[in-house]
């Protein structure tokens, strides 16, 4: 089960280490805010938990009127980073080892941080999947997609934490709100 | 309707196998693996397979799903089969473009165009 605790307001910080059991929003979260702008979540590799976290983030974006293309982009980046965390970062760790996800949404941007407990990842080690000789390789596209859709993708520390920023596109460019590439 | 827990809807018409997805989101790793296995079984069932994968019902997919599509494509090539993709949502088509997989796959606007392209 996931451990959840929302962090009210827009600031980063605070670690959700609430009790296990049912994965629902902490009673400590502000009762006036049904869609919190930020949260710290510890997510095990279970589909229902991943979707619950995604839905929290997508609802926070919807509450601030981010367009569908923006939510597509952020969801994709979160999916890809979680796949990397569980499949690669936690390869040699117990199956129930959680990944720590933080998000913060305001009117201009969405900030994401995904931290696994693995040995770290060197983005430069990933071969360019768009080269002709790599086009038929079935893996290695997650990072490419994260970078295409996010304004910032940065690996921190030993490479077990990735921070990403999505910037709301200018209103005029709303129809092109997808990838930055 | 899908029977049992199949992740696919499958239709055989003439010598062409058409596949649609049960799931709107092709993100779950276990589902993606199952989809790969089910399509591999369809390919294995035909001598020179002709396969149309229809994305009409799909809203979202991940790079893991792209990986499975590539594995399917490689298997089709090895079997001298013909693979076509159709009805890809514009947002998902953008994912194919970013990854340059629009060059690898034969992608058509709709099922009719894809069906007409089989030789």
pLDDT at residue number B3: 44
Query: With a CB-CB cutoff of 8 Å, which residues 46-85 of chain B face chain A?
Result: 60, 62-64, 66-68, 70-71, 73-74
Question: How many whole angstroms separate alpha carbon B19 and alpha carbon A141?
Answer: 24
To the nearest whole percent, how much of chain B has pLDDT over 70? 97
Contacts of A130 in chain B (CB under 8 A): 99-100
**What is the pLDDT confidence band of residue A7, given thresholds at 50, 70 and 90?**
very low
Strands B82-86 and B50-54: parallel
Cβ contact, residue pair A87, B100, below 8 Å: no
- List the CATH number of the domain containing A15: 3.30.565.10
Q: Which residues are CB-neighbours of A35 under 8 A, at least 6 positions away?
A: A56, A59, A60, A62, A63
Contacts of B68 in chain A (CB under 8 A): 138
Question: Any idea where the domains of chain B sit in the sequence?
Answer: 8-116
pLDDT at residue number A16: 43
Domains held by chain A: number:
1
CATH architecture, domain defined by B8-116: 2-Layer Sandwich (3.30)
Identify whether A181 is part of a domain.
no
Strands B82-86 and A152-156: unpaired
Identify whether A159 is part of a domain.
yes
Cβ contact, residue pair B104, A76, below 8 Å: no
**What is the pLDDT confidence band of residue A178, given thresholds at 50, 70 and 90?**
low
pLDDT in tens, B55-109: 999 999 999 999 999 999 999 999 999 999 999 999 999 999 999 999 999 999 9
**What is the pLDDT confidence band of residue A54, given thresholds at 50, 70 and 90?**
very high
What is the distance in angstroms between the Cα of A131 and the nearest Cα belonging to chain B?
9
> Can you give the residue range of the structural domain that contains A147?
3-176
């Amino acid at each position: 089960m996931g451990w959840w605790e929302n962090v009210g307001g827009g600031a980063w910080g605070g670690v959700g280490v609430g009790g296990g059991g049912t994965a629902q929003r902490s009673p400590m979260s502000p009762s006036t805010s049904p869609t919190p702008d930020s949260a710290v979540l510890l997510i095990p590799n279970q589909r229902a938990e991943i979707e619950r976290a995604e839905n929290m983030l997508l609802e926070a974006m919807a509450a601030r009127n981010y367009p569908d293309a923006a939510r597509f982009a952020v969801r994709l980046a979160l999916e890809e980073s979680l796949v990397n965390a569980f499949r690669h970062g936690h390869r040699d760790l117990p199956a129930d080892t959680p990944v720590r996800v933080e998000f913060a949404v305001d009117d201009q941007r969405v900030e994401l941080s995904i931290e696994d407990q693995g040995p770290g990842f060197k983005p430069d080690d990933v071969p360019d999947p768009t080269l002709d000789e790599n086009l038929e390789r079935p893996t290695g596209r997650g990072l490419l997609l994260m970078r295409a859709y996010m304004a910032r993708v940065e690996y921190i520390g030993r490479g077990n934490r990735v921070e990403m920023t999505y910037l709301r596109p200018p209103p005029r460019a709303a129809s092109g709100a997808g990838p930055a590439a | 309707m899908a029977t049992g827990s199949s992740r696919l809807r499958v239709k055989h018409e003439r010598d062409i196998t058409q596949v649609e997805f049960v799931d709107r989101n092709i993100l779950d790793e276990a589902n993606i693996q199952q989809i790969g296995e089910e399509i591999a079984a369809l390919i294995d069932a035909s001598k020179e397979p002709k396969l149309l994968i229809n994305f009409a019902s799909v809203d979202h997919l991940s790079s893991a799903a792209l990986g499975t599509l590539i594995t399917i494509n490689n298997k089709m090539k090895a079997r001298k089969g013909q693979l076509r993709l159709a009805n890809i949502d514009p947002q998902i088509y953008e994912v194919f473009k970013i990854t340059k997989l629009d060059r690898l796959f034969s992608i058509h606007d709709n099922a009719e165009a894809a069906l007409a392209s089989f030789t």
